[in-house]
């Protein structure tokens, strides 16, 4: 990943850290809790806003400018406000490993406690279920009522205490949630059974039976559902935790006087410019520069690329990457919140803390869902009583209505799918700024590309070697000899064209000669001069050749085709021993920007997705059309200023002919792309680009791979699809389930199982996104140079 991403996110992340705080929230049991916690935090003085994520169980609190000097007071006030609503809030200091460790320890303890409660619930419930099954199957009498009471009561009031506590909190705060429904429904079954049990001590109770197995099964099913739901949600939220785990607590500080060559210290004690020893298999704990040694490094966590990268003295290494095979000494350049890994973590955390407009709408619907269900339950009870049914049957049917209704399935559909989709995208090398961006990216039907550095690599490549021909058509010099001479002259120059030519010569395994009397010819034009095997050659641009007396007509003798007229040309000439004589022109080499290997495949994938494409470039029409033809683009806007790019995008956004995909995306990497990236519905920046481009974009590609563009849109569409499926399932489930329960077709036990299953199904469906990998990691292209006659 280029420094541009680091620098842009560093400034953004720093300001964000000054204006926001993160808390872990304990005690949330359903999506309705989210809105209640958010309201509590937003009423704290100095808080500008809050976003609570049910999937990660964390809250991001945004502070007003005036509150930035009182962080400790704000922290205490937020924790108290959340506590008053019956939940617990713990401040997470991302730069302090101890607070992050405490948070993870609390999560592990809660997981163990929930698992133990589930096991006990199953132990108490199994005898009740077996007794009920044997009665139906073999007419064996059920367990005596007092034994059923002893088995069901611990489940109801010990293992189910959480539902009473959470339900009471919600009622006190002036709202209601799923816990209220569970507590009311299970208590109705347990209470009715206890009433019948007490009455049986004083005489026969006719046909009235016990419902203890229903109350126990309601609690047990929901505990099981929540345990499965939490386990699945944790997988969807592991992206940040897995990145944070890449920070070792102890590092090896160079100490030549020690037998091992280093001493161990806590990472918190390390400072910039310290030297660290990184052993094979170790994770780099900082951003640094190699000062001794050479090794291959696994940068998959950073770029998603599986191939190892060789690092030598002077090369930079990044925190979180892995030293594969050799001892290295690294000078610390950045650590803690300043590293690139920290910038990535900030991006993902910001995305996870955000909410899409659809999720905010669902939150509002969930807030009114529970009161409606309670109203339906009351009407169910009254309706059965009026119809002449026994009151205890009416009560059981009403309890079934309370238990089967599931606001959680509605509330989980959006945040769980986004967390899973965003995590999968991050692993593939795609950083999406927030949930709203992903929602918009799922509706993109038009993608505009910049040319230089986006469709092309932004670096010159050799297109063709052009020897001068004699009148009878014979070459004055073979291409192989020409590239040998030009490569030998170029290896001493740092100019990009010289470096491209030297690289082409080395790629052809041409042995380069030593050059004497080498000098750079700046005043004469732009080029170099040097002597090889006693013969002096000059190599440079048109202006240099004009200086030595060559006319435009003579230079045109190299025979450029119409497609090559706008390419960059450098000429090779041979000086005679008489410096007053005109040099002899030997030939030329054509350069042009190299098209990215995967450009054609990218455009093909977008076309297969039904997405229109275009090029927006500041280059002239001839160059733009040639590159567009090479990569398969039909629509080209050339010779544009940054402002004109912005205007074209704005006009394209007004075109409503692309439904159901009306949104526009812009892909770029340069400073001149920043206005267009900001003007598009979705701005996609390549991380190797400038900081201005990355900062203006809403999606950042962690490596320079254009196939990540269709991958971005694909994972966004898949995420949107999973959200729609979850919401549809939750809606259909409630529309069908509540009437069935009200009609008496479902017992409370069956209703409880159905409710637990509905949430698990929604979360499991969303978590299928975690298996997505995208196409970019599969494609291995071959070098693609401009021009159909790319020969050396």
Is the confidence at residue 773, as pLDDT, over 50? yes
pLDDT band per the 50, 70, 90 thresholds, residue 263: very high
Q: What six digits make up the tokens of 584? A: 């002899």
Contact 615, 637 (CB under 8 A): yes
Q: Which helix (H) or strand (E) is 737 found in, with range?
A: helix 708-742
Q: Which of 2, 450, 593, 673 is catalytic?
A: 450
Question: Which carries the bigger pLDDT value, residue 531 or residue 208?
Answer: 531
Is the confidence at residue 208, as pLDDT, over 90? no
Angle CA 59–60–62, to nearest 5: 140
Q: How many other CB atoms are there within 10 angstroms of residue 109's CB atom? A: 10
CA dihedral 97, 100, 104, 106 (to 10 degrees): 110
Question: Which carries the bigger pLDDT value, residue 155 or residue 307?
Answer: 155
pLDDT at res. 4: 41
pLDDT at res. 350: 67
Q: What is the pLDDT of residues 724-739, one digit of tens each?
A: 898 888 888 888 999 9
> Any long-range contacts for 679-687 (C-beta under 8 Å, 24+ apart)?
679/645, 679/646, 679/649, 679/650, 680/448, 680/649, 680/653, 681/440, 681/443, 681/444, 681/653, 682/437, 682/440, 682/441, 682/444, 684/709, 684/712, 686/453, 686/454, 687/1, 687/2, 687/4, 687/5
Angle CA 724–730–734, to nearest 5: 145
Contact 128, 216 (CB under 8 A): yes
Q: Which helix (H) or strand (E) is 23 found in, with range?
A: strand 20-26
Contact 324, 295 (CB under 8 A): yes
d(CA 623, CA 608): 26
> Any long-range contacts for 34-42 (C-beta under 8 Å, 24+ apart)?
34/363, 34/411, 35/175, 35/363, 35/364, 35/366, 35/367, 36/85, 36/170, 36/173, 36/175, 36/177, 37/82, 37/85, 37/87, 40/81, 40/82, 40/84, 40/85, 41/78, 41/81, 41/82
Q: What is the pLDDT of residues 655-692, one digit of tens each?
A: 656 667 889 999 987 556 778 888 888 989 887 644 44
Q: How many CA atoms within 13 Å lie on the side-chain side of 536?
A: 13
Contact 448, 400 (CB under 8 A): no
d(CA 758, CA 733): 7
Question: Which carries the bigger pLDDT value, residue 15 or residue 614?
Answer: 614
Mean pLDDT computed over 443-472: 85
Q: What is the pLDDT of residues 403-423, one digit of tens each?
A: 788 666 776 777 778 878 888
Q: Which residue has the tokens 């849109």?
A: 713
pLDDT band per the 50, 70, 90 thresholds, residue 785: very low
Among the listed residues 493, 537, 486, the one whose alpha carbon sits nearest the alpha carbon of residue 512: 486
pTM of the predicted structure, to 2 decimals: 0.67
d(CA 123, CA 121): 5
Mean pLDDT computed over 437-452: 91
pLDDT band per the 50, 70, 90 thresholds, residue 150: very high
pLDDT band per the 50, 70, 90 thresholds, residue 275: very high
pLDDT at res. 95: 64
d(CA 38, CA 55): 15
Is the confidence at residue 193, as pLDDT, over 70? yes
56-70, 131-145, 435-449: least confident range: 131-145
Mean pLDDT computed over 160-189: 81
Q: How many CA atoms within 13 Å lie on the side-chain side of 442?
A: 20
d(CA 636, CA 449): 10
Is the confidence at residue 253, as pLDDT, over 90? yes
Burial (CB count <10 Å: 0-12, 13-18, 19+), residue 173: middle
Give Cβ neighbours of residue 372 (< 8 Å, ≥ 6 apart): none
pLDDT at res. 239: 54
Domains annotated for the chain, with CATH where assigned, are: 3-104 (3.30.70.100), 250-282+286-334 (2.70.150.10), 434-456+596-717 (3.40.50.1000), 458-595 (3.40.1110.10)
pLDDT band per the 50, 70, 90 thresholds, residue 16: very low
Q: What is the pLDDT of residues 599-610, one digit of tens each?
A: 999 999 999 999
Burial (CB count <10 Å: 0-12, 13-18, 19+), residue 723: buried
Is the confidence at residue 625, as pLDDT, over 80? yes
User: Residue 464 pairs with which residues in a beta bridge?
Assistant: 590, 791
Q: What six digits make up the tokens of 219? A: 């609690």
C-alpha distances (whole Å) from 393 to each of 155, 183, 220, 403, 754 are: 23, 19, 23, 15, 20
d(CA 71, CA 73): 5
DSSP 3-state assignment of 253?
A: strand
C-alpha distances (whole Å) from 128 to each of 215, 400, 731, 752 are: 10, 19, 32, 16
Q: Which helix (H) or strand (E) is 61 found in, with range?
A: strand 58-63
Mean pLDDT computed over 435-446: 90
Give Cβ neighbours of residue 379 (< 8 Å, ≥ 6 apart): none
pLDDT at res. 7: 40
Contact 279, 327 (CB under 8 A): yes
Among the listed residues 199, 197, 170, 196, the one whose alpha carbon sits nearest the alpha carbon of residue 183: 170
Give Cβ neighbours of residue 216 (< 8 Å, ≥ 6 apart): 121, 124, 125, 128, 151, 152, 155, 156
CA dihedral 70, 72, 75, 81 (to 10 degrees): -80
Mean pLDDT computed over 233-243: 57
Angle CA 318–2–266, to nearest 5: 20
Mean pLDDT computed over 527-536: 90
pLDDT at res. 787: 30
d(CA 673, CA 693): 6
Active-site residue flag, 450: yes
Contact 633, 599 (CB under 8 A): no
Q: What six digits make up the tokens of 363? A: 């939150």
d(CA 227, CA 231): 6
pLDDT at res. 563: 63
Mean pLDDT computed over 72-96: 85
d(CA 163, CA 551): 91
DSSP 3-state assignment of 334?
A: strand
Contact 485, 537 (CB under 8 A): yes
Contact 527, 538 (CB under 8 A): yes
Mean pLDDT computed over 341-353: 69
262-266/275-278 β-pairing: unpaired
DSSP string, 377-412: HHHHHHHHHHTT--HHHHHHHHHHHHHH--HHHHHH
Question: Which carries the bigger pLDDT value, residue 76 or residue 776?
Answer: 76
Q: How many angstroms separate the first and last alpha carbons of the chain?
A: 32
682-686/663-668 β-pairing: parallel
**DSSP at 283:** B
d(CA 33, CA 485): 74
pLDDT at res. 291: 94
Contact 666, 448 (CB under 8 A): yes
Q: Phi then psi for 414, rounded to 5 degrees?
A: -80, -55
Q: What six digits make up the tokens of 171? A: 């009622």
Q: What six digits make up the tokens of 203? A: 């005489």
Give Cβ neighbours of residue 513 (< 8 Å, ≥ 6 apart): 484, 488, 532, 533
Question: Which carries the bigger pLDDT value, residue 186 or residue 239?
Answer: 186
């Amino acid at each position: 990943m280029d420094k541009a991403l680091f620098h842009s996110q560093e400034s953004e992340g720093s300001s964000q850290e000054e204006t926001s705080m993160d808390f872990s929230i304990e005690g949330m049991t359903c999506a309705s809790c989210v809105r209640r916690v958010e309201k509590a935090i937003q009423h704290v003085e100095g808080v500008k806003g809050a976003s609570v994520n049910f999937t990660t169980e964390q809250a991001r609190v945004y502070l007003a400018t005036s509150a930035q000097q009182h962080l400790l007071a704000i922290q205490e006030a937020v924790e108290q406000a959340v506590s008053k609503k019956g939940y617990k809030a713990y401040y997470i200091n991302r730069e302090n490993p101890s607070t992050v460790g405490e948070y993870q320890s609390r999560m592990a303890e809660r997981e163990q406690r929930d698992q133990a409660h589930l096991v006990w619930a199953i132990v108490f419930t199994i005898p009740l279920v077996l007794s009920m099954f044997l009665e139906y199957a073999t007419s064996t009498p059920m367990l005596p009522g007092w034994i059923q009471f002893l088995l069901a009561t611990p489940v109801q009031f010990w293992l189910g205490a959480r539902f009473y506590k959470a339900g009471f909190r919600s009622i006190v705060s002036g709202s209601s949630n799923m816990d209220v429904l569970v507590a009311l429904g299970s208590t109705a079954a347990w209470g009715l059974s206890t009433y019948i049990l007490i009455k049986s001590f004083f005489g026969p109770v006719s046909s009235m039976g016990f419902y203890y197995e229903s109350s126990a099964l309601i609690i047990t099913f929901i505990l099981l559902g929540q345990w499965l739901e939490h386990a699945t949600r944790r997988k969807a939220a592991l992206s940040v935790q897995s990145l944070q785990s890449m920070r070792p607590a102890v590092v090896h500080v160079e100490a030549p006087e020690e037998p091992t060559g280093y001493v161990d210290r806590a990472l918190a004690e390390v400072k910039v410019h310290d030297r660290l020893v990184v052993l094979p298999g170790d994770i780099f704990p900082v951003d640094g520069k190699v000062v001794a040694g050479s090794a291959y490094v696994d940068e998959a966590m950073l770029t998603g690329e599986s191939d190892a990268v060789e690092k030598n003295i002077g090369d930079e290494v990044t925190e979180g990457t892995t030293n594969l095979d050799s001892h290295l000494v690294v000078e610390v350049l950045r650590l803690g919140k300043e590293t690139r890994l920290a910038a990535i973590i900030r991006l993902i955390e910001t995305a996870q803390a955000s909410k899409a407009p659809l999720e905010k709408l669902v939150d509002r619907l969930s807030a009114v869902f529970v009161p409606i269900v309670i109203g339906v339950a009351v009407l169910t009870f009254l309706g059965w009583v009026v119809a002449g049914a026994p009151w205890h049957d009416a009560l059981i049917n009403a309890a079934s209505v309370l238990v089967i209704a599931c606001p959680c399935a509605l509330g989980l559909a959006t945040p769980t799918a986004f967390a899973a989709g965003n995590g999968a995208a991050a692993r593939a090398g795609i950083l999406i700024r927030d949930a709203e961006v992903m929602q918009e990216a799922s509706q993109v039907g038009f993608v505009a590309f910049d040319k230089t550095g986006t469709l092309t690599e932004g670096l010159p490549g050799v297109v063709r070697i052009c020897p001068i021909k004699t009148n009878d058509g014979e070459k004055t010099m073979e291409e192989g000899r020409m590239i040998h001479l030009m490569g030998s002259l170029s290896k001493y120059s740092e100019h990009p064209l010289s470096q491209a030519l030297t690289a082409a010569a080395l790629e052809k395994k041409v042995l380069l000669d030593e050059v004497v009397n080498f000098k750079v010819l700046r005043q004469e034009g732009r080029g170099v001069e040097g002597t090889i095997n006693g013969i002096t050659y000059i190599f440079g641009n048109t202006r240099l050749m004009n200086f030595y007396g060559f006319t435009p007509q003579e230079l045109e003798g190299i025979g450029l085709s119409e497609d090559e007229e706008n390419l960059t040309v450098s000429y090779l000439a041979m000086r005679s021993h008489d410096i007053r004589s005109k040099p002899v022109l030997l030939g030329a080499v054509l350069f042009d920007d190299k098209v990215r290997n995967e450009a054609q495949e990218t455009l093909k994938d977008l076309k297969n997705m039904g997405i229109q494409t275009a090029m927006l470039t500041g280059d002239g029409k001839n160059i733009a059309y040639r590159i567009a033809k090479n990569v398969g683009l039909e629509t080209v806007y050339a010779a544009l200023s940054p402002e004109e790019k912005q205007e074209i995008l704005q006009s394209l956004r007004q075109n409503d002919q692309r439904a159901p995909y009306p949104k526009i995306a812009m892909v770029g990497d340069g400073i001149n792309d920043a206005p267009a990236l900001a003007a598009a519905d979705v701005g996609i920046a390549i991380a190797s680009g400038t900081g201005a481009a990355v900062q203006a974009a809403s999606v950042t590609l962690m490596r320079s791979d254009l196939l990540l563009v269709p991958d971005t849109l694909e994972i966004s569409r898949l995420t949107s699809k999973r959200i729609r499926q979850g919401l549809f399932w939750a809606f259909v489930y409630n529309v069908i389930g509540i009437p069935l329960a009200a009609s008496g077709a479902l017992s409370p036990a069956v209703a409880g199982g159905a409710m637990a299953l509905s949430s698990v199904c929604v979360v499991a469906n969303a978590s299928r996104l975690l298996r997505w990998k995208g196409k970019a990691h599969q494609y291995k292209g071959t070098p693609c140079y401009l021009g159909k006659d790319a020969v050396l």
